[in-house]
């Protein structure tokens, strides 16, 4: 005669599987957000290096950036155009490219040029659902927090120093 599982054994197995699932699912969701944040931080670093290199190598661009007051919307859009790969600061389509290729630039931060460095602040607008979680994780990230506190200085910043 074959012995089958009793109903109570099946209930215990289902309860245990439910408990394991409730512990594992939030960890998996957090892992996805952490991976996205890491990818964005690397993209931010590469973007800041590009902007720094452009402003250092092109005195005309550096003069244009310095000409705008740090609290003006033109200052913000100049940086967004640089993020969108327009060192001439004349192609307004670069703003769309920046928002499309680097959505963190518009969803999470307001970046302006001030005293030969980038000043990074939290965006004043409320991000959408997906971006709200990512932005909050970015604000808590150590590197991003340092950039927000100290700015990204183009001369002598650790951005250009090799970690040992």
Per domain, the residue ranges of the chain are: 33-157
What does the pLDDT average to over 68-86?
A: 86
Residue 164: its pLDDT value, please? 43
Closest CA to 152 of 109, 111, 123: 111
Residue 161: its pLDDT value, please? 45
pLDDT in tens, 80-89: 888 888 888 8
pLDDT in tens, 25-43: 777 767 788 889 999 999 9
What does the pLDDT average to over 6-32?
A: 84
Check if the beta carbon of residue 67 is closer than 8 Å to that of residue 93.
Answer: no
Q: Per-residue confidence at 160, pLDDT binned at 50, 70, 90? A: very low
Q: Is residue 20 exposed (0-12), middle (13-18) or buried (19+ Cβ within 10 Å)? A: exposed
Q: Is the pTM of this model over 0.75?
A: no
Name 33's Cβ contacts closer than 8 Å, sequence gap at least 6: 133, 134, 137
Distance of CA 104 to the CA centre of its chain: 5
Q: Which helix (H) or strand (E) holds 152?
A: strand 152-153
How many C-beta neighbours within 10 Å does residue 117 have? 19
- DSSP E strands in 21-143: the ranges are 109-114, 117-122
């Amino acid at each position: 005669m074959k012995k089958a599982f009793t109903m109570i054994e099946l209930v215990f197995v289902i309860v245990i599987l439910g408990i394991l699932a409730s512990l594992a699912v939030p960890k998996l969701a957090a892992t996805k957000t952490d991976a996205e944040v890491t990818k964005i931080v690397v993209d931010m670093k590469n973007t800041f290096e590009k902007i720094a290199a452009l402003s250092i190598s092109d005195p005309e661009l550096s003069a244009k950036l310095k000409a705008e007051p740090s609290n003006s919307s033109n200052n913000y859009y100049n940086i967004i155009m640089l993020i969108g790969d327009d060192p001439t600061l004349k192609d307004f389509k670069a703003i769309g490219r920046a928002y499309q290729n680097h959505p963190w630039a518009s969803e999470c931060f307001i970046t302006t040029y001030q005293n030969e460095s980038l000043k990074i602040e939290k965006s004043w607008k409320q991000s959408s659902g997906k971006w709200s979680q990512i932005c909050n994780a970015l604000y808590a990230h150590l590197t991003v927090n340092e950039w927000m506190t100290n700015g990204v200085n183009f001369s002598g910043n650790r951005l250009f120093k090799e970690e040992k």
